[in-house]
Chain A
Amino acid sequence: MIQLAEELITRRCGDTGLLVELGDNRRVHAFAAAVRAADLDGVVDLVPALDTLLLVVDPALTDPPAVEGLLRDLEVGAVARAENRRVEIPVRYDGEDLSWVAEHCGLDERQVVRRHTATPWQVGFCGFAPGYAYLVGGDPALRVPRRKESRVAVPAGSVAIAGQFSAVYPRRSPGGWQLLGHTEVSLWDTEADPPALLLPGDEVVFCEVAS
């Protein structure tokens, strides 16, 4: 259970947003679940990030100070845990940057694959493109910088790492992350409900399929 009333740090974003500083990603998801369950009037969108939650409000219906008042009565806790799901993503580790990553981390390629698959990741937040999930909580030995030059087109399904994050590109797009492999799993389908495979707060496990 997370107690919030006294420690809630908020920042107003004009008349359409309230940014709540929560300090860590698990608290962000717990808080987001509580806000969603409370179904606050005039709150039209929630944007979880690594350690903040943005509440987007419809200024015709409410304003950030009013929403801030409602947040202080919120009960946060059990809801979030029940919603967390676990998603497995099969990966063929044949990425163009696998050997560079291995060298950079002082590992061999097999060790990179083991470390990417052994530790479960969590969806920290989504952004960049529809269904693009920033995964956090992986093995710290796999921290690498982005590529010096971004690729113009990274194929859909590419599994990549950069900084503390891992991600799967939902569709062909430019990208500067280091490519470890690829998956055949579809990450985004506007006809599906929900349209994204990976939802904020989900646990994600990569498993290797033979090349």
Chain B
Amino acid sequence: MTTTHPESTAELTVVDSGLLALVQDAGRRGWAHLGVGGSGAFDRPAMALANRLVGNDECAAVIEVTNGGLVFTCDAPTRVAITGAALPVKVGNRSRWTHEVIAIPAGGTVRLGVPERGLRSYVAVRGGIRAEPVLGSRSTDLLSRLGPPPLRAGDVLPIGRPRGPVPASDVVVPPPVLDEDEFLPVSLGPRADWFEPEAVEALLRSRFEVTADSDRIGVRLAGPALPRRIHDELTSEGVVEGALQAPPDGRLTLFGPDHPVTGGYPVIAVVRDRAMPLVGQLRPGQGVRFTRG
């Protein structure tokens, strides 16, 4: 990966990527007609908050860490903030926590523990990650394979030149993340009419369980069958993030940021945009219930 960058004053070196660590920003807009989806941080408010804590633009690129475990060093003194799924942090031998500004000495090693609740944490470094943008974004799209590849031990990421002051507040109260059933508000449609009324009722009354094959492309949900009223084959059509696509015999899929731009199965409902950050924190085995609103 690039080690020199005109806008860069410092570098971050990945020592251990943990399960999955990706560079993410606000995503890629305006390319869906060519088959390129939006991508971007799954829990966007968490990304924005981490950036604000270190005085970055809200959409500066951060590292999205799935289930903790990231270890990195910085070659120059800097500040980082970690938000999203709360987890213990160690800087050298000192214990720190998420949702506060952490000063890192030159050469300091930052180790992220594992979250007890939630799934994705966001590491903002003052100045932002300056990985090479692709089509206007530094986000890694796992479906389209655009943007920086998933981080690996030894990767070196340029850090941008800090702009603007560090905010006066250096700690925030983390939003609660539940480990019980998550309630997600949905709007029915665009193709709720392709399902029997019982299917809509089953959607709104049942508990679905997040399965282990969930990822940024889609969160897969085990639950009751959702019987169709119209059995025609749907011609592929555009789908949005948050769409609940129901294949005839498969699991309900809740489309995440790296979802395909088109889908060939009817979408029974769409999770409201304000609830998508919660979706980004769902863990396998967790229960999900859908409510109208």
Contact surface of A with B, Cβ cutoff 8 Å: 11-17, 19, 32, 44-54, 56, 59, 125-132, 134, 190, 194-196, 199-200
Q: Which residues, 220 to 242 on B, are CB-close (under 8 Å) to A?
A: 235-242
Contact surface of B with A, Cβ cutoff 8 Å: 29-36, 38, 134-135, 144, 146, 186-187, 189-191, 235-243, 260-262, 267, 269-273
CA separation between A42 and B144, bound complex, in Å? 24
B190 A12 Cβ-Cβ under 8 A: yes
A14 nearest in chain B by CB position:
B270
Contact of A14 among B33, B236, B271 (CB under 8 A): B271
Q: Which residues of A contact B240 (CB under 8 A)?
A: 13-14, 16-17, 54, 56
Q: Which residues of B contact A12 (CB under 8 A)?
A: 187, 189-190
- Known contacts A15-B272, A54-B239; decide if A45 and B35 are in contact (CB<8 Å): no
CA separation between A16 and B186, bound complex, in Å? 12
B135 A190 Cβ-Cβ under 8 A: yes
Report B221 CB to chain A, min CB distance, Å.
17
Contact of B238 among A53, A59, A194, A196 (CB under 8 A): A53
B244 nearest in chain A by CB position:
A14
Report B198 CB to chain A, min CB distance, Å.
21
Can you list 6 A-B contacts with CB-CB less than 8 angstroms, sorted by A residue number?
A13-B240, A13-B267, A14-B270, A47-B32, A47-B262, A48-B238
For the residues of B in contact with A, the DSSP-based class is: loop
CA separation between A199 and B35, bound complex, in Å? 10
Contact of A196 among B34, B191, B270, B272 (CB under 8 A): B34
- Known contacts A49-B236, A127-B260; decide if A14 and B34 are in contact (CB<8 Å): no
A32 B33 Cβ-Cβ under 8 A: yes
A200 B33 Cβ-Cβ under 8 A: yes
B242 A45 Cβ-Cβ under 8 A: no
A129 B35 Cβ-Cβ under 8 A: yes
Contact of B29 among A44, A53, A129 (CB under 8 A): A44
- Known contacts A11-B190, A130-B146; decide if A16 and B241 are in contact (CB<8 Å): yes
CA separation between A172 and B238, bound complex, in Å? 24
Q: Which residues of A contact B243 (CB under 8 A)?
A: 13-14
Report B212 CB to chain A, min CB distance, Å.
21
A127 B262 Cβ-Cβ under 8 A: yes
Report B203 CB to chain A, min CB distance, Å.
14
- Known contacts A127-B35, A127-B262; decide if A190 and B272 are in contact (CB<8 Å): no
CA separation between A11 and B38, bound complex, in Å? 21
A126 B34 Cβ-Cβ under 8 A: yes
Report A54 CB to chain B, min CB distance, Å.
3
